Structure 1
Amino acid sequence: MRAAASAQLVVIAKSPVPGAVKTRLTPPYSAREAAALAEAALRDTLAAVAAAPAARRVLALLGEPGPWLPAGCDVVAQRGDDLAARLAAAFADAWAALPVPPVLIGMDTPQVTPALLAEAGRLLGEHEVVVGPAADGGFWLLGQRRPDPALLAGLPMSRPDTGALLMERIRAAGVRAALLPELTDVDTAADARAVAALAPSSRFAATLAALGTDVPA
């Protein structure tokens, strides 16, 4: 197996159902509009995963798959009582199915590229952990050469210090870690505009444009 394809790519996501996703976009967008943006972001993310070298492609899904699911992607149900537990379970389930280093990303960075995902896999050949820091203080990607449940167990999520706390755990474990470039998660309308500007040819940018420009800055 080529080194660049020595990782499996795991997307953890919710089905883009109105009222269940991207609730911080409402307002200014309606629940249906927020769900449309979530679906576009998910489609862009899955397209990047499909185009990146990988030993396996997985969607750890909360909800039901829809027509946005591409061929060649295994679907597994999320499990766990909170986000940290669901992330740890996604790592464990991916490893149990195929003992190849898992690289996990969310559905909130539609600007992600196949090259970035390939770089994450490459870095796991030299490091035990790879982290993609997010502009909001969290992380948009986490890869582990071999999943360690202690890395995520009880980790406070969706906080400005989530990424810093994760890095503290990595340092305490004494493992080698690599960092990818910082990306912006789409949480707010301002985030959506910034990300669309970074990826103007994406489905996400097209969907945002179709919703109109009368949303307050």
Structure 2
Amino acid sequence: MPQCGGGLDRRIAAAFAHAARLAPRAPALLVGSDTPQLDPAALAAPLSAAQRPGADAWFGPAEDGGFWALGLARPDARLAGRLLHGVPMSTAATGRHVLDRLAAEGLAVRELPTLLDVDGPDDAARVAALAPGTRFAARLRELAAAPGPAR
């Protein structure tokens, strides 16, 4: 689906609103595209049907203080707006802001594993080392081996 305009806070909230329209009774999990080392098996247990009862939300913290995943058991446009609109994104406190808002809504939050997201070259090298068999790591190796300036 195309992203809406506005900052990342508004785009994430809009994605939850869209998910709610598509499948009103289904949970929704949004995962950042900057965690290429994420293995679906890491999500299997915490998001399994057996683990879902009692969970209203899922939060995947990033090492830098942000988050790599946010899930809602019952996504709703108004709830997503209250959780995300106005949250300063890409700061060391972004994750704390979202967690505070989840708590203020009285939601039971299940935490997912902490992951490193890729914000720069050092992060890219670390992620590639964590997941050497991924397409991401292969592409990073290709770029490192290419002659000339970095691409």
Contact 1:102 1:145 (8 Å CA) reproduced: yes
One of 108, 111, 135 as aligned partner of 2:34? 108
Q: Which residue of the partner structure matches residue 186 of structure 1?
A: 118
- Residue 108 of structure 1 deviates from its aligned partner by 0.2
Greater strand share, 1 or 2?
Answer: 1
1:126 corresponds in structure 2 to 54
**Considering only aligned residues, what root-mean-square deviation do their CA atoms show, in Å?**
1.7
> Distance in 1 between the 2:45 and 2:113 partners?
11
CA distance in 1, matches of 2:87, 2:20: 20
- TM-score, with structure 1 as normaliser: 0.61
Pick one of 138, 141, 156 that aligns with 2:69.
141
Tell whether 2:87 aligns with 1:159: no
- Residue 163 of structure 1: SS of its match in structure 2? helix
Could you say which residue in structure 1 is the equivalent of 2:108? 176
Name the aligned partner's letter for residue 136 of structure 1: D
Q: 1:84 — aligned with what?
A: 9
TM-score (norm. length: structure 2): 0.86
What does the per-residue CA deviation read over 1:9-28, in whole Å, with 9 as the maximum and x for residues that have no partner? xxxxxxxxxxxxxxxxxxxx
Give aligned-pair identity as a percent. Answer: 46
- Code of the aligned partner of 1:121: L
Unaligned runs of 5+ in 1: 1-75
2:139 to 204, 207, 215: 207
Give aligned pairs, total: 140
